[in-house]
Chain A
Amino acid sequence: MPQSLQPWFLVIQRLGIALLTLVIVSFAVFFATELLPGDVAEILLGQAATPEAVAGLREAMGLNEPAISRFVGWLLGLAQGDLGNSYVNNMDVAELISGRLSNSLKLAGLTTLVSVPIALSLGIGAAMWRGSLFDRIVTVLTISVISVPEFMVATLAVLIFAVWLDWLPALSYGVDVSSLSAMLKAYAMPVIALSFVISAQMIRMTRAAVIETINTPYVEMALLKGASRKRMVLGHALPNALGPIANAVALSLSYLVGGVIIVETIFSYPGVAKLMVDAVSTRDLPLIQSCAMIFCVSYLSLITLADVIALLSNPRLR
C-alpha cells in the first residue's frame, strides 16, 4: 500500500470498528429492554386487562414472536430509518423523537460553543503557568465543580437568577425566543449549568495532557532555543497533546446528549433524555430502544471523531 494511503486506511478501519460496535450495542439495547419488568399489554389495558384481552393485544402487537426475529426486524427497520411505532400512542417513533432531538441538539450545541473554548483555554493556561496563582485558582475551582452535583448547580441557579433576582426565566422552553437577547436569556441557565458539569473534566484533562508534553526534552529544547513560554506551549507542546485532548473533549460532550436528564427536568426542557425516562415508565419499548440507540450513535461518533483527530495529528501515522 502506498505510504500516503496508510492513514486513510487506518481511518476507514476505525470507522468499520465503530459500525461493528454499533451492531453489538443494538443487540445489547434490544435484549436489555426485553428484560424490563412489566408487560406492555397489561399496562396499556390498565383496569380492563382481562387475560383474554391481554392475550389478544399481545398477538396483535406481535409480542408473541420469538425475540430474535423481532430483533432482526427492528434492526432492518433501523437500517432503513424506520424506528417503528410507539406502543403507547401508536405514533411514529421518528416523529416523536425528531422534535425532542432537535431541542437536545440545540442545547448541546450551545453548551459546546460556550464550554469548549473556555475549558481549553483555562486548561492550557493552567498548564502554561503551572504552579502560579492562576493555576491554583483554576484547579481549586474545577475540583469544587466536579464535587458539586449538577442538580445542586441547576437548582441554585434557578433559585438565585430566576426566583430572587428575577433576571432569567426559570423555564427555557416555550418562552419567547424571537430576539437574540431573549434566546440568550432563555438558554443561559441550562447552558451554564451544563457547562459547569462538562468543563471541569475537560480543563483537568487538558491541563494534564499539556503538562505531560511540557515535560518532554523537545520542549526543553525549545526553551534552550530562546522560545517564549507561549511558543513552547502552543507551538511545541500542544500539537503533541491533541490526541488526548480530543478524547477528553469527546467524552465530556457525549454526556450532553444522553446524560442531561437532571438538568432537563429542573428546567422543564423537553429533550431526548426526558423522553426516554417517560418511555421507560410506560414500557414503550420501541421508543426506549430508539432513544438508547441515539445516545449510542452520538457517543460513538464523538469518540470516533476524536480517534480520527488523534490519528491524523500524529505524523508517524500520517
Chain B
Amino acid sequence: MTEPLVSVRDLRIGATTDAGRKVEIIKGVNFDIAPGEIVALIGESGSGKTTIALSLMGHTRTGCRIDDGSIRLDQSDITTMSERDRMQVRGTEVSYVPQSAAAAFNPSKRIMDQVIEIAAIHDLMPRAEAEKKAVELFRALALPDADTLGQRYPHQVSGGQLQRLSAAMALIGDPKLVIFDEPTTALDVTTQIEVLRAFKSVMKKGGIAGVYVSHDLAVVAQIADRIIVLKGGEIQEVGTAEQILNAPQHAYTKQLLAAFEPVPHQPVAPTAQPARPKPILEVYDLSAGYGHMRNGVPAAKILKSVNFKIERGRNLGVIGESGSGKSTLARAVAGILPAYQGAVMVDGMEQKRDLKSRSKEELRRMQIVFQLADTALNPTHSIGTLLARPLTFYEGLRGKARDARVAELLDMVHLPAALRHRLPGELSGGQKQRVNLARALAANPELILCDEITSALDTVVAAAILELLKELQRELGLSYMFISHDLSTVEAICDDVLVMYKGEVVEALPAARMSTEATHPYSRLLISSVPRLDTGWLSGLEQDPELLAQFANR
C-alpha cells in the first residue's frame, strides 16, 4: 500500500468558551488520506467537521487550539511547525475552498488579483504566467468569459461562478490536498450540479486529494471516495461511499440516512366543518415589489400576478430557487410588504394590503414564522417574555393565566416549561426554532406562513420539526403555507405545490405527484437537479443544455 498523503493521529482540539470554560471539541480523531483520494467529513453542525478540516492547514479559529495528537501532511508535521512554516505550506501544499465564496472574496479587489494571490505570496511564478494558468483553470471549471472574468469585481459575478472561482484560487498553487468546506451549501440545486461537476473533473484530472466537508450525504455521495461520519467531535463510522450509503453499520449513520427517506405526506382527514366551506386563504392576482412607487407601481416588481388558494386543513408548498420571489410572496400575503395589486382573502374576507391597517383579529388568524430563529427572537428577552407578549397583545392575558398558557405553549412544541427563564442564546438551533413556532401558536392562528423554517437546521433536527408541524396540525386543525427550496421537505408536509420562477407561478400540482407529473420545463429541471443518495447519480445525470441555459441561475 502506498504511503498516505495525510495521516491524522489522536487529534484533540480544545476551545475556550466566552465564559472562560474549557471544552474539548475534537476528541481523539484518527484517519488517513491516500494521494488523489477524496474523503468526505460528514456530520451535523457542532460535529467538528470544519474544525478538523481547518486543522489540516494548521489553522484554528479564535478561541480554539490543537491540544494533542499529530497531523502529518506529506513529509511535514503540521502540529509541530512554527506559524511561519505553516504559512509556507498554506496555498502550496494544501489549499482551501470556502463555504461562502461570496464572503471569502475581498469585495474591494479584482478577482484575478485574488485568484493568483497564492502565486504572488509564495513567489511561485511570474504574474503573466500565473494569469495564464488562472485563465486555463477558469476554462477547466467551465466558467464563461474566461479571458475577461478576472478583471471584474466579486459583486459582478454570480454565486455559482464565485464558488468555481474560489476553486481556481485554491488550485493555482498546485496543491496536493484541497479542503472543500461545504462549498455548495449556499447554492441553488440547479447551480450546485454544475459546480460539483467542475470540482470533480478538475480533481480527478489533476490527481489531487481532497477533504470534502458537508452535512449533505447526497452531495457527498457524488464526489467522495470515502466517507467519515462525525458526531460530537468523534468518528462514528468510516467506509467507502457505497458502504456508508448501502450498508451503514452505526446507528447514527442509519439515522442520517433515514432523515433522507422521503416521507410521503398523508393529508389530514378534513374535520367535519360542512358549514365553512370557504378556503382559509385565497390569493388573486397578487403583485408586489420594492423601491420607489411611481403611479402605484414599484420600481422593482418582484411578484407578478400570483393566484392560488389553500383549503382549510391543507398545506401548500411554495418551491423555487433564490430570487424566485417565494419569500416576497409570504411577506405580501402577511402584509409586511404591502402588495400594489391583487387581493388576499382569509376565510372569504378580504384583507387590507398593509399590515398596519389590518385588525387585531385579522392579524391573529394568520401568523408568520421566519427562517432564522436567531434573528427573529430578541436575544435579550427570556423565552417566557417572548411568548407572553403575543398572549397579552391578542388575548389580553396577564399574571397566572398567562404563565399557564406559556407553559402550555412550550409543552405543545415539546420543550420543558423550565426553559421559559432562559435566553434564546442559551438554546440550540432546533429549540430556538420551536420557540419561534410557539410564538406563532400563541396567537391561536388558523394559518401559519412558514418561510424556510427548516433550512438552517441539521437534517435530523429538521425532520423532528416537520414531525412537530404535522402533530400540531392534527391537534389544532392548522393550515400551513410552507416555503422552501428543498423539494423533499415540501413533499414531506404539503398537499399541493406551487413552483415559482422569477416571481411567477409556473406550475401548481399535488405534492404527491410532483416528481412524476410535473410538466413545466423549469419544474422538471428543478426536480431532476435534486441530488439522490446514489454514487452514480451525478455521472448518469443528463440535462437538456437548452433548458439549463434558459432557467439555471448560473
Q: Does A227 lie within 8 Å of B153, measured CB to CB?
A: no
A225 CA to B87 CA, complexed, in Å = 8
**A99 interface contact, C-beta 8 A:** no
Q: Does B117 lie within 8 Å of A227, measured CB to CB?
A: yes
Stretch from B90-98, B273-281, B426-434 forming part of the interface with A: B90-98
Please name all residues of chain A whose beta carbon is closer than 8 Å to the beta carbon of B153 when the two chains form the complex.
Answer: 315-316
Q: Does A236 lie within 8 Å of B106, measured CB to CB?
A: yes
How far, in Å, is B206 (CB) from chain A's closest CB?
18
Partner of B104, one of A217, A231, A313, A316: A217
How far, in Å, is A219 (CB) from chain B's closest CB?
8
A266 CA to B340 CA, complexed, in Å = 65
**A228 interface contact, C-beta 8 A:** yes
Contacts A216-B103, A314-B108, A315-B153: A225 and B90 contacting too (C-beta < 8 A)? yes
Q: Does A226 lie within 8 Å of B108, measured CB to CB?
A: no
| Binary contact track A29-59/B, C-beta < 8 Å → 1, others 0 | 0000000000000000000000000000000
**B155 interface contact, C-beta 8 A:** yes
| Binary contact track A208-230/B, C-beta < 8 Å → 1, others 0 | 00000000111111111111100
Total count of chain A residues near the partner, CB < 8 A = 21
How far, in Å, is B84 (CB) from chain A's closest CB?
9
How far, in Å, is A177 (CB) from chain B's closest CB?
43
Chain B residue with minimal CB distance to A217? B103
Residues facing B in A152-198 (CB within 8 A) are none
Please name all residues of chain A whose beta carbon is closer than 8 Å to the beta carbon of B54 when the two chains form the complex.
Answer: 224
How far, in Å, is A221 (CB) from chain B's closest CB?
4
**A73 interface contact, C-beta 8 A:** no
Contacts A316-B153, A316-B155: A228 and B108 contacting too (C-beta < 8 A)? no
Chain B residue with minimal CB distance to A239? B108
**B59 interface contact, C-beta 8 A:** yes
Q: Does A315 lie within 8 Å of B90, measured CB to CB?
A: no
Please name all residues of chain A whose beta carbon is closer than 8 Å to the beta carbon of B90 when the two chains form the complex.
Answer: 223-226
**B89 interface contact, C-beta 8 A:** yes
Q: Does B108 lie within 8 Å of A315, measured CB to CB?
A: yes
Chain A residue with minimal CB distance to B122? A226
How far, in Å, is B306 (CB) from chain A's closest CB?
31
**B323 interface contact, C-beta 8 A:** no
Q: Does A221 lie within 8 Å of B88, measured CB to CB?
A: no
Q: Does A226 lie within 8 Å of B121, measured CB to CB?
A: yes
Residues facing B in A283-318 (CB within 8 A) are 313-316
Q: Does B98 lie within 8 Å of A227, measured CB to CB?
A: no
| Binary contact track B100-141/A, C-beta < 8 Å → 1, others 0 | 100111111100000001100110000000000000000000
**A201 interface contact, C-beta 8 A:** no
**B57 interface contact, C-beta 8 A:** yes
Chain B residue with minimal CB distance to A237? B106
**A240 interface contact, C-beta 8 A:** yes
Please name all residues of chain B whose beta carbon is closer than 8 Å to the beta carbon of A223 when the two chains form the complex.
Answer: 59, 90
Partner of A227, one of B95, B121, B169: B121
Chain B residue with minimal CB distance to A318? B153
Q: Does A218 lie within 8 Å of B104, measured CB to CB?
A: yes
Contacts A315-B107, A315-B108: A222 and B117 contacting too (C-beta < 8 A)? yes
Please name all residues of chain B whose beta carbon is closer than 8 Å to the beta carbon of A222 when the two chains form the complex.
Answer: 106, 117
Q: Does B96 lie within 8 Å of A224, measured CB to CB?
A: yes
Please name all residues of chain A whose beta carbon is closer than 8 Å to the beta carbon of B108 when the two chains form the complex.
Answer: 239-240, 313-315
A46 CA to B57 CA, complexed, in Å = 83
How far, in Å, is A15 (CB) from chain B's closest CB?
23
Residues facing B in A210-262 (CB within 8 A) are 216-228, 231, 236, 239-240
A111 CA to B89 CA, complexed, in Å = 45
Q: Among the interface residues B105, B109, B169, which one has the most CB atoms of the partner chain A within 10 A?
A: B109
Q: Does A226 lie within 8 Å of B106, measured CB to CB?
A: no
Q: Does A217 lie within 8 Å of B87, measured CB to CB?
A: no
Contacts A225-B117, A226-B88: A315 and B155 contacting too (C-beta < 8 A)? yes
A139 CA to B5 CA, complexed, in Å = 45
Please name all residues of chain A whose beta carbon is closer than 8 Å to the beta carbon of B121 when the two chains form the complex.
Answer: 225-228, 231
Please name all residues of chain A whose beta carbon is closer than 8 Å to the beta carbon of B96 when the two chains form the complex.
Answer: 221, 224-225
A240 CA to B98 CA, complexed, in Å = 20
Chain B residue with minimal CB distance to A224? B96
A217 CA to B186 CA, complexed, in Å = 15
A239 CA to B98 CA, complexed, in Å = 21
Please name all residues of chain B whose beta carbon is closer than 8 Å to the beta carbon of A216 when the two chains form the complex.
Answer: 103
Q: Does A218 lie within 8 Å of B91, measured CB to CB?
A: no
Please name all residues of chain A whose beta carbon is closer than 8 Å to the beta carbon of B103 when the two chains form the complex.
Answer: 216-218
A222 CA to B105 CA, complexed, in Å = 9
Please name all residues of chain A whose beta carbon is closer than 8 Å to the beta carbon of B106 when the two chains form the complex.
Answer: 218-219, 221-222, 236, 239-240
A219 CA to B54 CA, complexed, in Å = 15
A227 CA to B118 CA, complexed, in Å = 8
Partner of B87, one of A226, A315, A316: A226
A186 CA to B117 CA, complexed, in Å = 49
Partner of A224, one of B57, B88, B122, B155: B57
A217 CA to B97 CA, complexed, in Å = 12
Partner of B92, one of A218, A226, A231, A239: A226
A179 CA to B118 CA, complexed, in Å = 52
A315 CA to B106 CA, complexed, in Å = 11
Please name all residues of chain B whose beta carbon is closer than 8 Å to the beta carbon of A227 when the two chains form the complex.
Answer: 87, 117, 121
| Binary contact track B145-177/A, C-beta < 8 Å → 1, others 0 | 000000001010000000000000100000000
How far, in Å, is B543 (CB) from chain A's closest CB?
31
Q: Does B95 lie within 8 Å of A225, measured CB to CB?
A: yes
Please name all residues of chain A whose beta carbon is closer than 8 Å to the beta carbon of B107 when the two chains form the complex.
Answer: 218, 240, 314-316
Chain A residue with minimal CB distance to B153? A315
A316 CA to B118 CA, complexed, in Å = 24
A123 CA to B108 CA, complexed, in Å = 21
How far, in Å, is B194 (CB) from chain A's closest CB?
22
Please name all residues of chain B whose beta carbon is closer than 8 Å to the beta carbon of A219 when the two chains form the complex.
Answer: 106
Chain B residue with minimal CB distance to A313? B108
What would 20 A/B residue contacts be, using CB atoms closer than 8 Å?
A: A216-B103, A217-B98, A219-B106, A221-B96, A221-B98, A221-B104, A224-B59, A224-B96, A225-B90, A225-B117, A226-B89, A226-B91, A226-B118, A226-B122, A227-B87, A227-B121, A239-B106, A240-B108, A314-B108, A315-B155
Closest 5 CB pairs of A and B: A226-B90, A226-B91, A217-B103, A224-B96, A221-B104
Apart from A218-B107, A226-B121, A314-B108: 4 A-B pairs, beta carbons within 8 A: A224-B54, A225-B169, A226-B92, A315-B153
